[in-house]
Structures are given as C-alpha cells and as structure tokens.
C-alpha cells in the first residue's frame, strides 16, 4: 500500500518563475491538504481539496493555487515566486469523515523548493 | 491565531531518560495530535487525543490534555537515540484544517 507520494523532491527556481508540485494521496484517501514549512518552523496550512474543490484555505496569497483531479491526486501551483517562498512543501492526505474533527494526517516526504 | 506552541524549543537528554514536551493553544479544539519529523522529512503521526479525553498512552508515549488550561504534554519514556527528531503538536478546530506549532527539537545522546 503506497503512502503519500510527492514530486519533485527538490527543485530550484528563480524569482518570478512559476512552479507546480504534485501529490498522490494514500490509497483510500480522498482529501488532500498542502502545507508550507519554512526552515526551523512548523508547517503552515495552505489549502485543502476534497471532491476536486478547494474547501478551506489558510492565510496565503492568490499566487498559491491548486487543483485536485478525479483520481484524488493534487497539484500545488505557485506563481511569481518570491525568495520567501523557499520552503519544504508538504502534502497530507486523509479520509473524509463526518462528525467532530478528524483522524490523522498522512504526510508525504515533501518537495523542497529553493528560490534564487 | 489558534496555533499551538511547543515548549521547550530544544531538549537534550541521555538515552534512557524521559523526555517531556508541552504544547499550548489558544482556542477550543476537536482534537490535538502529536507528530514527529526527522531532519526536514515528512511528518509522522504519533498519537491523537480528543477534547473529551484527558490522557492517552501508546507504547512509550503518554499524552495528556487539559482543555481548561488549553495545554497538552507529550512524554516519551526510556528515550532512545532513534527518538532524536522534532516533535510538533497540531490542533484541529475546523475540519481537517490543522494548526502546527514551531516544534520541540529533541536530541537523545547515546
């Protein structure tokens, strides 16, 4: 049973460029969330996708956008890259549940983006 | 912000000792979870405690939750060098939207 897979693992971009990161959720999971983790900090919630729609969003500008495909995989797009976008981008999947709260998140190994 | 904050920021202990780290948060929650991260890799879920629970155990891990004080603690007993990692608490008040603290960096010396 494959866990959450992310690609690419590392990439280097220059300011102003655009980047697309990809995520395949764990088998049986239909909800994908993206997090940004700057060096020495905790993960910050970017947004969450379920049923191919953005359901929740954190405090990130519109330069950050995403997509979820019918097979539940997801992409994170960042336009007009800034030096401050350099970070580890983590994808997490979970099964949709009802009721109070949810269970655990399953994380991928992340995509490390360096913006020069 | 609902973000949890861990304390201490860094902790260094000898193998075999116990490690305790704390988490404080600001608003009401559905549950609180602890995650572990090895050297900038993906996070791994350790344990979840719901808002109506006060204590939970899993192997060498013990988690407590005090909703009146909006705090939680994670105890790792009989620590091992392999426990060296960063530990994060995550709070969930909104469906699947988690807030992580800045973590406690644990170093277990052999």
- B-chain CB neighbours of A88 within 8 Å are 40
Which residues of chain B form beta strands (DSSP E)?
5-7, 10-14, 19-24, 31-37, 43-50, 55-58, 61-66, 71-76, 85-94, 97-100, 104-109
Percentage of residues of chain A with pLDDT beyond 90: 80
Residue B104 pLDDT class (50, 70, 90 cuts):
very high
Walking along chain A (116 residues) 10 residues at a time, the average pLDDT comes out as 91 98 94 94 93 91 97 97 98 71 83 98
Whether B97 sits inside 8 A of A112 (CB atoms) is no
Average pLDDT over residues B13-22: 97
- For residue A26, what is the DSSP state? P
Q: Which of A104, A110, A112 to mutate to test the interface with B (most CBs of B within 10 A)?
A: A104
* pLDDT at residue number B30: 84
Locus of tokens 């913006």: A115
d(CA A38, CA A75): 19
Q: How far is A2 from chain B (nearest CA, A)?
A: 15
The alpha-carbon radius of gyration of chain B (Å, integer) is 13
* Chain B: residue whose CA lies nearest to A87: B40
Whether A106 sits inside 8 A of B45 (CB atoms) is yes
* pLDDT at residue number A103: 73
Cβ atoms of B100 and A33 within 8 Å: the answer is no
């Amino acid at each position: 049973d494959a866990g959450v897979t992310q690609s690419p693992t590392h990439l280097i971009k220059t300011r102003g460029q655009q980047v697309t990161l990809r995520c395949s959720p764990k088998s049986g999971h239909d909800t994908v969330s993206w997090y940004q983790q700057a060096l020495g900090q905790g993960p910050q919630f970017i947004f969450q996708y379920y049923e191919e729609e953005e359901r929740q969003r954190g405090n990130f500008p519109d330069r950050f956008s995403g997509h979820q495909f019918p097979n539940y995989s997801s992409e994170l797009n960042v336009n007009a890259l800034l030096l401050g976008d350099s970070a580890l981008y983590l994808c997490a999947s979970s099964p949709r549940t009802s009721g109070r709260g949810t269970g655990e998140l399953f994380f991928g190994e992340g995509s490390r983006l360096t913006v020069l | 912000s609902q973000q949890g904050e861990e304390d201490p920021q860094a902790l260094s202990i000898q193998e075999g000792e116990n490690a305790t780290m704390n988490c404080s948060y600001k608003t009401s929650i559905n549950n609180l979870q602890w995650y572990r991260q090895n050297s900038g890799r993906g996070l791994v879920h350790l344990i979840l405690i719901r808002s109506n629970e006060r204590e939970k155990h899993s192997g060498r891990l013990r988690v407590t939750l005090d909703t009146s004080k909006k705090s939680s603690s994670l105890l790792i007993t009989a620590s091992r060098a392999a426990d060296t990692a960063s530990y994060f608490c995550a709070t969930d008040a909104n469906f699947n939207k988690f807030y992580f603290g800045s973590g406690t960096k644990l170093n277990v010396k052999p």
